[in-house]
Structures are given as structure tokens and as C-alpha cells.
Amino acid sequence: MKLRELLREYENQLEEGQRDAYVPKVLFYHLANKEPHELYLMMDEEVDQSIEEEFRKGMNRFLDGEPIQYIKGKETFFTRDFTVNESVLIPRYETEELVENILYKIDDYFDQYKEIELCDVGTGSGAISITLALEEPKLNVIATDISEDALVVAKKNALDLNADVTFYQGDLLQPLIDLDKKFDIFVSNPPYIPAMQDIESVVKDNEPHVALFGGEDGLYFYRKIFNDVKSILKERALLAFEMGFDQRELMEEAVEAAFPHIPYEIIKDINGKDRMLFIYYHLDDQRNT
């Protein structure tokens, strides 16, 4: 069968179901190990039998509702390819913005530091911790997750991408408390979707719920972190979180209760939605002296 015909067959099915009709091309160039522009030159060539079989299997999984990232086993984050599977959340574009903002804040507040201790709690695929370690060599990065299966993926990503990150298994801050270490920067993208919130079925039916749902109002894990985190922070520290777009008021309440008189900021993502929380824990006190 010619590539053009094979792609068309699935594009038609997807268009009928009003779904993303670019997915067949994306899957094919992934399987054939080609760049998009090379695909265009191959349209009238016969498709290799074994690739066709794999492609049909993958397309059927997609038609059954699986995310294309799990089918490919990859997602790009900050220009790098990360391995993903059902044990980890698929890295989101919004989270690249969190990483970008953390890098800016490092320049703002830690420019004079020779080494910076950073931890990432609930690292999942390792997208945040590995990217930060690769982008900012001054960072010493420790990452944790409660899920052993997620850590298998994160460790593979660190190895494949040659990133120096140390991983620990455990519940929230516990592994860090056990280490008896203090951090300059605390990062987390905890599960923050309220338990009863209706979310897209492609997310709900495929991605790990342990990485998605954050209790009744979505803030369960933030409150737990806020309560315990001071014991693992250095005297001056930056805390950086991803958060849900509809959580500003609740988040302000939770931050102000746990960190009275400490400055903080909620930053919007590129879509204009509240998405990132930064807490400046005694940061300015020393910058001015």
C-alpha cells in the first residue's frame, strides 16, 4: 500500500469523528524515524509491511481513546524527548512555562550562588527536574515520587538525557525530611484537579490518577506541603508550584495562612490563565543587604 493511501484511510476516520487528523502523519514519521519534510517526499512509496502493521496497531489504540504520546512512548519537553508511559503524567506545555520562570528567578535571586540545592516533589517523568538540571549546571537536583513505576521512567529519562538528578521514592516531603537536607529552591507540580471535576476522558481514562487529583478542592497536597516544607528550606528560599487555573482565591488563602507576611505571586500562563505560584521566602531580606 502507498503511504498516501494508508494515511488517508485513518485521516478520513478521524475527520468523520471530528478528531485530530494530523495524528496519522505524526505516528508514521515517529515509527519510520523520519522528519516531517521527508514524509512528504515518500507519499507515493510503498509502505514497509512491518511499519504498516505497527502503524495500524498504534492508530487503533488512538481511535480507542489512548493519547498519542503513550502510543509513541515519547513527548517533547523543552526541546528534549522524554519517555512516557501510563505510569506518568504526559508533560504539558504549561509546565515548560513553569520551568522557564524558575530559570528566570534563579537569575534574579541566586545569581551569586556557586551551587544551588533544588528539590522537585512528585517528579513523574522527571520532565521538570531533568530539564532544570540540564539548563542550569549550578543546580544540585533531587527529585522524589511516591510511585516506584514513575521513578523507573524518570531514571531512564535522566540516563538517556545525561542529567545528574538523584531520585528518592516516598510520600511528599518524607524522603527529603529523612535526608535531613535543606534546599534553596523547592519545586512541585502536584496533583491539583478537584476530585469531582469533570475532565476530558482522554486524560481521565489514561493518565495516572495519583498524578491528577488533589482532593476535594484540588489543594490537598499544597496544604500538606505548606505545613511541612519550612523544615527543609534554607533561610532564604524560593518555592515554585504549578497550579490549576481556577484556584487563585483558595490558593491565596492557603498561602497566607501558612506563610504570613511572606511575599508571593501567582503568574498566568500564555493562555492568560493563573498557572504558577511563586513564594519568595525571605528572599528579598538578603538581596537588599
- Binding residues for ligand GLN (CB under 6 A): 89, 92, 189, 191-193, 203, 212, 242
The neighbour count for residue 49, using CB atoms within 10 Å, is 9
Nearer to ligand GLN, 141 or 219 (CB): 219
Q: 227, 258 in Cβ contact below 8 A? A: yes
Rounded to the nearest whole angstrom, what is the least distance from the CB of residue 251 to ligand GLN in the complex?
13
In 3-state terms the chain splits into helix, strand, coil percentages (rounded to 5) of 45, 20, 35
DSSP 5-49: HHHHHHHHHHHHTT--TTHHHHHHHHHTT--HHHHHHTTTSBPPH
- Do 250 and 277 form a contact (C-beta atoms < 8 A)? no
Residue 58: alpha-carbon gap to chain centroid: 24
> Which CB atom, from 89 or from 254, has the smaller least distance to ligand GLN?
89
Tell me the closest approach of the beta carbon of residue 76 to ligand GLN, in angstroms.
16
Shortest CB 95 distance to ligand GLN, Å? 8
Residue type, 245: F
State the nearest-atom distance from the C-beta of 25 to ligand GLN, in Å. Answer: 25
Q: Considering beta carbons, is residue 58 or 191 the nearer one to ligand GLN?
A: 191
Q: Which is nearer to ligand GLN, 25 or 204 (CB)?
A: 204
Rounded Cα–Cα distance for residues 220 and 233 (Å): 20
At residue 277, φ and ψ (nearest 5 deg) are -115, 125
From the list 46, 72, 44, the residue with the least C-alpha distance to 58 is 72
Residue 219 or 229: the one with the smaller Cβ distance to ligand GLN is 219
Which residue, 212 or 267, has its beta carbon nearer to ligand GLN?
Answer: 212
Q: How far is the CB of 284 from ligand GLN (least distance, A)?
A: 28
Phi-psi region of 241 (alpha: psi -120 to 50; beta: other; left: phi over 0): beta
- Alpha helices in the chain, H assignment, sequence order: 3-16, 23-31, 36-41, 49-63, 68-72, 93-109, 127-135, 148-161, 174-179, 201-204, 220-228, 248-258, 283-287
Least Å from the CB of residue 203 to ligand GLN? 5
In this complex, which beta carbon is closest to ligand GLN, that of residue 167 or of residue 192? Answer: 192
Least distance (Å) from ligand GLN to the CB of residue 190? 6
- Closest distance to ligand GLN from the beta carbon of 276 (Å): 12
Burial of 197 per CB tally in 10 Å (0-12, 13-18, 19+): middle
**Given the complex with ligand GLN, which of 14 and 203 has the nearer CB atom?**
203
CB 151 within 8 A of CB 87: no
- CB-based contact 217:250 (threshold 8 Å): yes
